[in-house]
C-alpha cells in the first residue's frame, strides 16, 4: 500500500484518493477518544512569556549544562562591565570571584569600576529579559541582546532559588543602591525582595561600611561601579572553554583592562593593564548595501524621511555616493527622483537586487575597534612564552548583521 | 607589569592598587571622547521586542542558512499539521509542495485535513511569536514553542518581502477564511494585508472555486483543514538533513499518516498510510520528582492549593504515594502536616534535596505515545530494502523538562 516512488508528474492537488482513511472525513473511529475541535483549540491558545520560553529553552542562551552555565554567567557579567566602562571612557578594572556554596553550587560575583547604574533601571536590567541599550544601535559592542545577564540571573533562581544581588554607585558622594531581585517568569518582570520592595540605600558617609556589613553586602571600595552576584548550579573545570581560559583570553585581547580573579579554590590571578589608553571608540555607522536583507530595506524605506529615492540612497547607506546612487537607480529601472513613499513591494525588490549587483566600495573599518597589532603583541608576549611573535590584520568585507 | 601568576592568597578586595590607571578614578584622558554616564545610559535603555530579537538571532530558531531555513519551514508546518490532526482525532493527510519562485527563492505550501483554525486566532498563530496552545501543558506534542511557524513566516517576510498566506476551514458548510499576514517585528503583532485588514471570506457554496480563483488561492478540496504558504530565500538540496529525507522519515515514524510531496523539480512522492488507527493518545501527567528543578518546585509550592505538605506531595507529583511522601518529609526534616503556605526558601531547598535523594518508582510511560514495534516494522519494511528487521523498546528513566 505504501508507495515511496514518484507516482506521476502533475499537481499534488490531483493526487489519487487516499487508501485506508477511516470514513470520508478521515476521522478515526475510537468513540472514547477526546476530540479537540477548532473551537476548543482556540480557547487554549495564549501568549507565552519570553521568560517562560527561555526558562524552558535555556540551551539557546548558553545554559546547556552546569559547566557551560558557569562560563556563560561569568562572560555575560564581564562583557557588561567592559562595555559600560568603555562607553563611559573609564579604564576598566574588574574583579571576578567564584566561590563554592554547596554541592554543585557556586556564587559568582563580578564588580567593575564603571559608571554605575541609575537606581530605577537596576531592576529592569537584571530582572527582565529583552531589555537593554545596545540592541537597537548600529555600533560594535560585546553584548547586544539585552538578555544575557538577566538570563543568568533567571538560571540561578531556577536552579538554586537564590535572587540576584546588585550593588551600584554612580559617583563619589552619591549613595550606593542594593537590590535583591528575582525575575517573575510568568510576567517577565523583576521582583525586588529587599527593603520592602524598594531596595536598600547605602549612604555616602562614614556609616557606609557599617550598613553594608549589616546587610551582608560585599563591595570593593570604588568611587563608582557595579557589583552583581549570582548563585547557580554549576560545575567548575579548568582547561578548554573554562572560565580561567576565558578570563585569560579577555586579558590578552584587552590590554587596557586590569582583571582580578579569585577561582573557586581561592587561587588569585591579577592581570594588570599594559596600556593606559582605551582602544579607539567604535563609530556607529550606516549599513553597507551588501549587508542588508530585503526586509531591512523595506523597513528602512518605511522609516526614511528622505523625499526622493536618490536622497534615500545617499543618506541611508555607507559608501553610496551620488554617482553610485544613480547607477543603482538605473539598474533597478527606477527614477532617482521617485518619491520614497511611493515605492511599493515590487519596486523595493528591484531596488534590493540592484543594490546587491552594483559595484560599491567596501565599508569603512572605523566602525570596528581593533586592539591594534602593537598592543596585541605586547599582551601576547607577557602571557604566552615564545621566541617569535607576529600579528596580522586582514582587509574588510561585508557580512549581514551588525 | 602584567602578571599572569597567582600573586598571593586572600580576598580580591585587598588586591594591590592598580598600576597604570590614568587618574584616581580610572578615567582616560582623551578630552574629545564622548562620555556616557549612568544618566545617559539609563535614557537609552528600552524594551526589545521578541520579534526583533529573533529577527537578529534567527539561528537560534533553525534559520542559520538558506538550506536549513527551507527544512525548518517545512518541518514547522508539517509538525503543526500532524499535531492538529491527532488532537482532533483525525487520520492526517498532508500535502507538501515546494516551488522555485525566483533566484534562491522558494514557495513552500503545506496543507492538512485537520480541524481548521478559528478565524480570529489565525492572525495570531501565524503572525505573532510566542503564541500557542502547547507550551503550558505537560503533555507530549511535536511543536511546543509557540514560535516555529510564525518565525518561518517572519524569515520569509525578511528575505523576500512576501506575506504568509493562510486558508483555513473548520467544517463542511462553513466558509473558509483567507489571510495574507505579515508580522510587525517592532510590536510582535500580525498585520493583515488583504480584505481591507479583515481577511477574505470564501463562501461554502458553488461560488467557492470562483472566489478562490479570483483571489489566486490554491486549495485542495477537504471538508476541514488548513493551508499555509510561505515564500522564502532558501536552497534546495537532496541528501542528509534535506526536506526529502525529513519527509521520508516522518512517513516512516508515523505509519498512520498519508503524505503527498511535490519537490521543486515537480517530482511527486505519495506515502500512503499503512495504519488506519491513530497512535494511542498521549496523556498529560504530573511531573516526576526526579525531573524538576528547585525553581519549578518553588513555583509549584506557590501555586498549590494543597493545605499540608503531605497533600502537596501526593497530589502534585507522579509516583508519590502516601508512604513515599512520608519518607520525603522525614528526609527533609519537615512535618507532613506543615502548611504549604509557610514553606520558605530554606525549607523548599531541603524538600528539593529530599525529593532527589528518596527512592521513587520510575514514571509511567503512557505520557509518551510510541508508535509501537509492530507498526514501526511495517513502515520500515516498505521504505527500506533489507532481509532482517527488528525494533526494540528501552525501559524509562527521568530527564528534566517535558
Report chain A (402 residues): mean pLDDT per 10 consecutive residues: 37 40 43 71 81 85 92 94 92 98 95 95 92 68 72 93 95 95 91 95 92 94 96 93 93 92 96 88 82 86 91 93 95 95 90 92 70 69 66 63 44
Read off φ and ψ for residue B192, nearest 5 degrees.
-95, 125
CA gap A374, A391 in Å, rounded: 8
* pLDDT given at position B340: 93
Of A15, A20, A97, the CB nearest to B273: A20
Query: Hey, are the CB atoms on B115 and A41 less than 8 Å from each other?
Result: yes
Query: Hey, are the CB atoms on A260 and B19 less than 8 Å from each other?
Result: no
CA-based nearest distance B334→chain A, Å? 18
Among chain A residues, the shortest Cα distance to B45 is held by: A133
Burial of residue B147, with CB atoms counted within 10 A of its CB: 0-12 exposed, 13-18 middle, 19 or more buried = buried
State chain B's mean pLDDT as an integer. 84
* pLDDT given at position A58: 86
Specify the long-range contacts of residues B271-274, CB closer than 8 Å, at least 24 apart: B271/A2, B271/A3, B271/A4, B271/B247, B272/A1, B272/A2, B272/A3, B272/A18, B272/A19, B272/A20, B273/A1, B273/A2, B273/A18, B273/A19, B273/A20, B273/A21, B273/B91, B274/A1, B274/A2, B274/A20, B274/B375, B274/B378, B274/B379, B274/B382
Burial A191-209 (b: 16+ CB within 10 A, else e): ebbeeeeebbebeeeeebe
Burial of residue B121, with CB atoms counted within 10 A of its CB: 0-12 exposed, 13-18 middle, 19 or more buried = middle
Q: Which of A104-108, B10-14, B106-110, B354-358 has the lowest mean pLDDT?
A: B10-14
CA gap A331, A200 in Å, rounded: 63
Among chain A residues, the shortest Cα distance to B171 is held by: A38
Higher pLDDT, B23 or A325: A325
Q: Which of A311-320, B49-58, B90-99 has the lowest mean pLDDT?
A: B49-58
Read off φ and ψ for residue B201, nearest 5 degrees.
-105, 135
In chain B, domain spans: 54-271, 289-357
Q: Mean per-residue pLDDT for B357-369?
A: 77
Query: Hey, are the CB atoms on B145 and A345 less than 8 Å from each other?
Result: no
Q: Is residue B95 predicted with pLDDT exceeding 60?
A: yes
Query: Hey, are the CB atoms on A133 and B13 less than 8 Å from each other?
Result: no
User: Do B340 and B312 contact (CB within 8 A), yes or no?
Assistant: yes
User: Do A204 and A222 contact (CB within 8 A), yes or no?
Assistant: no
* pLDDT given at position B139: 60
Q: Is residue B3 predicted with pLDDT exceeding 60?
A: no
3-state secondary structure of A205: coil
Q: Is residue B262 predicted with pLDDT exceeding 80?
A: yes
Q: Which residues of B touch A13 (CB under 8 A)?
A: 95, 218, 220
Q: Is residue B329 predicted with pLDDT exceeding 80?
A: yes
Fold of the CATH domain B289-357: Helicase, Ruva Protein; domain 3 (1.10.8)
User: Do A348 and A301 contact (CB within 8 A), yes or no?
Assistant: yes
Mutation target vs B (from A1, A3, A4, A43; most B CBs, 10 A cutoff) = A4
* pLDDT given at position A323: 94
CA-based nearest distance A238→chain B, Å? 15
Of B95, B281, B401, the CB nearest to A56: B401
Q: Could you tell me which of A173, A132, A181 has the C-alpha nearest to residue A153?
A: A181
Grid coordinates of A76: 555575560
Among chain B residues, the shortest Cα distance to A299 is held by: B158
Q: Is residue B363 predicted with pLDDT exceeding 90?
A: no
Q: Is residue B5 predicted with pLDDT exceeding 50?
A: no
Query: Hey, are the CB atoms on A278 and B21 less than 8 Å from each other?
Result: no
- The CATH class for the domain spanning A54-271 reads alpha beta
Higher pLDDT, B375 or A117: A117
Residue B162: C-alpha distances to residues A349, B210, B229, B262 (Å): 10, 24, 10, 21
Residue A213: C-alpha distances to residues A70, A97, A179, A208, A227 (Å): 27, 18, 15, 9, 15
CA gap A252, B65 in Å, rounded: 32
Query: Hey, are the CB atoms on B271 and A4 less than 8 Å from each other?
Result: yes
Q: Which residues pair with A112 in a beta bridge?
A: A94
- Residue with the three cell numbers 515605492: A343
Condensed to tens digits (0 to 9), the pLDDT of residues B63-85 reads 989 999 999 999 999 999 999 99
**What is the crossing angle of helices A322-332 and A309-316, to 10°?**
130
Among chain A residues, the shortest Cα distance to B31 is held by: A89
Q: Could you tell me which of A365, A389, A386 has the C-alpha nearest to residue A375?
A: A389
Burial of residue A152, with CB atoms counted within 10 A of its CB: 0-12 exposed, 13-18 middle, 19 or more buried = buried
Q: Which residues of A touch B268 (CB under 8 A)?
A: 6-10, 12, 15
Read off φ and ψ for residue B185, nearest 5 degrees.
-70, -30
Q: Is residue B29 predicted with pLDDT exceeding 60?
A: no
ipTM given for this complex: 0.74
Q: Mean per-residue pLDDT for B57-64?
A: 87
Q: Which residues of B touch A223 (CB under 8 A)?
A: 24-25
Of A125, A130, A133, the CB nearest to B53: A130
Query: Hey, are the CB atoms on A147 and B53 less than 8 Å from each other?
Result: yes
Q: Mean per-residue pLDDT for B137-156?
A: 76
Higher pLDDT, B17 or A136: A136
Q: Could you tell me which of A304, A308, A349, A343 has the C-alpha nearest to residue A326?
A: A308
* pLDDT given at position A25: 44
Mutation target vs A (from B1, B3, B36, B384; most A CBs, 10 A cutoff) = B36
Of A7, A48, A401, the CB nearest to B268: A7
Query: Hey, are the CB atoms on A4 and B274 less than 8 Å from each other?
Result: no
CA-based nearest distance A321→chain B, Å? 26
Q: Is residue B143 predicted with pLDDT exceeding 70?
A: no
Q: Which residues of B touch A162 (CB under 8 A)?
A: 345
Among chain A residues, the shortest Cα distance to B353 is held by: A103
Of A3, A4, A272, the CB nearest to B20: A272
Query: Hey, are the CB atoms on B270 and A15 less than 8 Å from each other?
Result: yes
* pLDDT given at position B6: 35
Query: Hey, are the CB atoms on B4 and A248 less than 8 Å from each other?
Result: yes
CA-based nearest distance A315→chain B, Å? 22
- Residue with the three cell numbers 544613480: A326
Q: Which residues of A touch B124 (CB under 8 A)?
A: 45
* pLDDT given at position A284: 73
Taking only Cα atoms into account, the Rg of chain B, rounded to an integer number of angstroms, comes to 28
Residue B393: C-alpha distances to residues A32, B252, B297, B364, B389 (Å): 27, 17, 31, 14, 14
Q: Which residues of B touch A60 (CB under 8 A)?
A: 60
Condensed to tens digits (0 to 9), the pLDDT of residues B177-204 reads 999 999 998 889 999 999 999 999 999 9
Query: Hey, are the CB atoms on B273 and A382 less than 8 Å from each other?
Result: no
* pLDDT given at position B140: 59
CA-based nearest distance A16→chain B, Å? 9
**What is the crossing angle of helices B294-303 and B345-357, to 10°?**
120
* pLDDT given at position B13: 40
Q: Which residues pair with A90 in a beta bridge?
A: B27
B206-B207-B208-B212 Cα dihedral, nearest 10 degrees: 150
Higher pLDDT, B395 or B272: B272
Query: Hey, are the CB atoms on B379 and A35 less than 8 Å from each other?
Result: no
Q: Which residues of B touch A10 (CB under 8 A)?
A: 268
Helix (H) or strand (E) run with residue B67 in it: helix B66-87
Q: Is residue B238 predicted with pLDDT exceeding 50?
A: yes
Query: Hey, are the CB atoms on A269 and B8 less than 8 Å from each other?
Result: no
Between vectors from CA A33 to CA A32 and to CA A34, what angle results, nearest 5°?
A: 115
Higher pLDDT, B328 or A24: B328
Query: Hey, are the CB atoms on A12 and B268 less than 8 Å from each other?
Result: yes
Percentage of chain B modeled with pLDDT above 90: 55
* pLDDT given at position A144: 53
Among chain B residues, the shortest Cα distance to A14 is held by: B220
The size of the A-B interface in CB pairs under 8 A is 364
Amino acid at each position: 500500500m505504501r508507495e515511496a516512488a514518484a507516482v506521476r508528474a502533475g499537481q499534488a492537488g490531483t493526487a489519487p484518493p487516499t487508501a485506508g482513511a477511516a470514513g470520508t472525513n478521515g476521522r478515526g473511529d475510537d468513540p472514547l477518544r477526546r476530540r479537540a475541535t477548532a473551537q476548543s483549540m482556540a480557547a487554549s491558545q495564549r501568549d507565552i512569556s519570553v521568560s517562560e520560553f527561555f526558562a524552558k529553552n535555556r540551551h539557546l542562551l548558553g545554559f546547556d549544562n552546569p559547566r557551560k552555565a558557569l562560563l556563560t554567567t561569568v562572560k555575560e557579567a564581564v562583557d557588561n562591565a567592559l562595555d559600560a566602562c568603555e562607553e563611559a571612557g573609564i579604564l576598566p578594572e574588574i574583579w571576578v570571584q567564584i566561590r563554592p556554596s554547596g554541592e554543585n553550587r557556586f556564587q559568582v560575583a563580578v564588580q567593575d569600576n564603571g559608571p554605575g547604574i541609575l537606581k530605577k533601571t537596576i531592576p529592569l536590567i537584571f530582572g527582565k529579559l529583552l531589555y537593554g541599550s545596545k540592541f537597537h544601535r548600529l555600533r560594535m559592542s560585546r553584548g547586544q541582546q539585552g538578555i544575557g545577564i538577566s538570563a543568568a540571573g533567571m538560571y540561578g533562581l531556577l536552579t538554586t532559588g537564590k535572587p540576584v544581588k546588585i550593588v551600584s554607585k554612580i559617583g563619589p558622594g552619591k549613595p550606593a543602591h542594593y537590590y535583591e531581585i528575582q525575575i517573575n517568569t510568568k510576567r517577565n518582570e523583576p521582583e525586588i525582595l529587599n527593603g520592602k520592595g524598594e531596595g536598600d540605600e547605602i549612604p555616602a558617609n562614614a556609616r557606609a561600611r557599617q550598613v553594608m556589613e549589616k546587610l551582608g553586602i560585599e563591595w570593593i571600595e570604588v568611587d563608582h561601579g557595579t557589583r552583581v552576584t549570582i548563585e547557580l548550579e554549576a560545575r567548575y573545570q579548568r582547561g578548554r572553554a573554562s572560565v580561567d581560559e576565558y578570563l585569560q583570553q579577555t586579558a590578552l585581547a584587552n590590554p587596557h583592562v586590569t582583571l582580578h580573579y579569585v577561582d573557586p579554590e581561592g587561587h588569585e590571578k591579577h592581570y594588570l593593564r599594559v596600556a593606559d589608553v582605551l582602544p579607539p571608540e567604535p563609530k556607529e555607522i550606516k549599513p553597507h548595501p551588501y549587508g542588508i536583507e530585503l526586509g531591512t530595506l523595506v523597513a528602512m524605506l518605511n522609516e526614511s524621511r528622505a523625499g526622493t529615492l536618490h536622497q534615500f540612497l545617499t543618506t541611508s547607506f555607507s559608501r553610496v555616493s551620488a554617482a553610485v546612487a544613480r547607477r543603482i537607480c538605473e539598474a533597478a529601472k527606477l527614477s532617482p527622483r521617485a518619491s520614497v513613499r511611493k515605492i511599493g513591494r515590487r519596486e523595493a525588490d528591484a531596488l534590493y537586487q540592484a543594490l546587491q549587483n552594483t559595484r560599491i566600495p567596501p565599508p569603512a573599518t572605523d566602525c570596528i575597534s581593533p586592539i591594534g597589532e602593537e598592543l596585541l603583541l605586547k599582551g601576547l608576549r607577557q602571557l604566552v612564552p615564545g621566541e617569535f611573535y607576529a600579528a596580522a590584520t586582514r582587509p574588510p568585507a561585508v557580512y549581514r548583521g551588525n
